[in-house]
Homo-oligomer: A and B are copies of this chain.
Amino acid sequence: MKKKTELSIETTEMARVLKALGHPVRLYIIQKLSKMNACCYSGDLVDEIPVGRSTLSQHLKELKFAGLIQGEVEPPYIKYCLNKGNWEEARKMFNELFTENEQL
Interface residue A78 (Cβ < 8 Å from any Cβ of B) = no
Given the contacts A22-B18, A23-B15, A37-B100, A50 and B94 also touching, CB distance less than 8 Å: no
Interface residue A55 (Cβ < 8 Å from any Cβ of B) = no
Given the contacts A24-B7, A25-B7, A50-B4, A97 and B19 also touching, CB distance less than 8 Å: no
Interface residue A47 (Cβ < 8 Å from any Cβ of B) = yes
Alpha-carbon distance A35/B99, docked complex (angstroms)? 6
A4 close to B35 (CB less than 8 A): no
Other CB < 8 Å A-B pairs besides A16-B22, A20-B22, A34-B98, 8 of them? Answer: A6-B50, A18-B19, A18-B22, A19-B22, A35-B103, A36-B102, A36-B104, A87-B98
